[in-house]
Amino acid sequence: MTKISLGKSSLSVGPIGYGCWRFAQSTAKEADLKIRTALDCGMTLIDTADIYGLGEPTGFGGAETVLGDVLKTSPNLRGQMVLATKGGIDAVRPYDSSYDYLMTAIDNSLMRLRTDHVDIYQIHRPDLTTAMAETARALNDMVKMGKAKHIGVSNFTVAQTRALQAHLDTQIITTQPEFSALHQDPLTDGTLDWCQETSATALGWSPLAGGRIFSENNDVIKTLDRIAKTHNSTRSNIALAFTMSHGADVIPIIGTQKTERIIDSAKAAHVLLTAREFYDIVEAYRGTPMP
C-alpha cells in the first residue's frame, strides 16, 4: 500500500488514518481489536486527544486511557503505529496553550497512553489568549526532552499556523482540519496550499462528516452515490476517496467503531476518482459550476 510521508520528517504512514475520539465507550479488549484491525489495514496513523472522553462516564482522558490499556497489554503495537495526540482544550477555559498547561498536559497524556513519547503532539485548537511564542516554547521543550518527536496543529488558520511556526525550532509536520465532501473549507481557505508550500501533511478529521453523509440527502450525497455506482463502490468510500484526491495527499482520519467498517474503508485507498468526478463533488457542494 502507498505510504505518505508526514511533512519532511522520516515518518510515513498508510493513506488512511484511524481516530480514537469515540474510544472512551470501548473496553480495552474491544479497542485492542479495533487498533489491530486498523493496523492490519495499513492505517498506521493513530490519532487521539486528551479531551476525548469528556462527556462520557470516563471523563477527560478516557480515550487515551483505553488506548494506553491496549498498549499495556500489547506493547508490540506501539512500534507499529505513528501515535498522534492533542492537547490544549481545557473543559472550562476552553482553550489553554500556555507553557505550564501544555507541559503538564503532555506528561498526563504520556502517562495515560503508557508510552514515553508521542510521534506527533498537536495543539488541538488555537488559544487566542496565549502568545504563540509561549506555546512554541512549550512545544520546543517537549521536542528537546524527547516527549514529542514532532509537532502538529489542528483547527488552526494558515495565519495562526505561520505565527506559531515562526517561533518553533522544528517544522510543523501536520495540520488537522475538518475535511469531507460535506465540509470542503480546506480546499479554499489556504490550508491545503500551505501544506504544499511547506510539505506539511493535512490530516482530515471527520471525513464522513461524523456520519452525516449517511443521514443527509442533498446534491453532494446524490453525486457521491452516482460516482459510487460507476466505481462499483459505496457512498462512504467515494467520500473518503474524494478527500484523498486532492494534490496535497490528505490523510483522512476515520472514526468508525465497527471493525467491519474499518476493513471496508481501507478499500477507499484503491478508488481512483477522475478529476471530473472530484470536481463534480466540489461543484455539488458549491451549488454552482467551477468559475
Ligand X SMILES: NC(=O)c1ccc[n+]([C@@H]2O[C@H](COP(=O)([O-])OP(=O)(O)OC[C@H]3O[C@@H](n4cnc5c(N)ncnc54)[C@H](OP(=O)(O)O)[C@@H]3O)[C@@H](O)[C@H]2O)c1
Q: Are strands 4-5 and 12-13 parallel, antiparallel or unpaired?
A: antiparallel
Name, in order, each residue with C-beta under 8 angstroms of 160's C-beta and a sequence gap of 6 or more. 126, 132, 153
Region near ligand X per CB under 6 A, out of 14-22, 167-175, 183-191, 274-282: 14-22
The residue (of 45 and 138) whose beta carbon lies closer to ligand X is 45
Which x/- pattern, by CB under 6 A, does the window 54-93 give for ligand X? ----------------------------------------
Applying CB under 6 A, among 253, 281, 282, 284 the residue interacting with ligand X is: 253
The three cell numbers of residue 291 are 468559475
Residue 201 near ligand X by CB under 6 A: no
Residue 48: all three cell numbers together: 487521539
Query: Looking at 18-26, 71-79, 105-113, 166-174, which segment touches ligand X (CB under 6 A)?
Result: 18-26
The verdict on 255 binding ligand X (CB under 6 A) reads yes
Alpha-carbon span 240 to 235, nearest angstrom:
9
DSSP-assigned letter for residue 89: B
Rounded CA separation 152/150 (Å) = 7
Minimum distance of ligand X from residue 290's CB (angstroms): 25
Please give the single-letter amino acid code of residue 134.
Answer: E
> Which amino acid is residue 68, in one-letter code?
G
Judged by beta carbon, residue 61 or residue 207, the one nearer ligand X is 207
Give the separation between CA 252 and CA 191, rounded to whole angstroms: 14
Tell me if residue 52 is catalytic: yes
- Which residues form the interface with ligand X (CB under 6 A)? 19-22, 47, 154-155, 176, 205-211, 214, 236, 253-258, 261
Residues marked as catalytic:
52
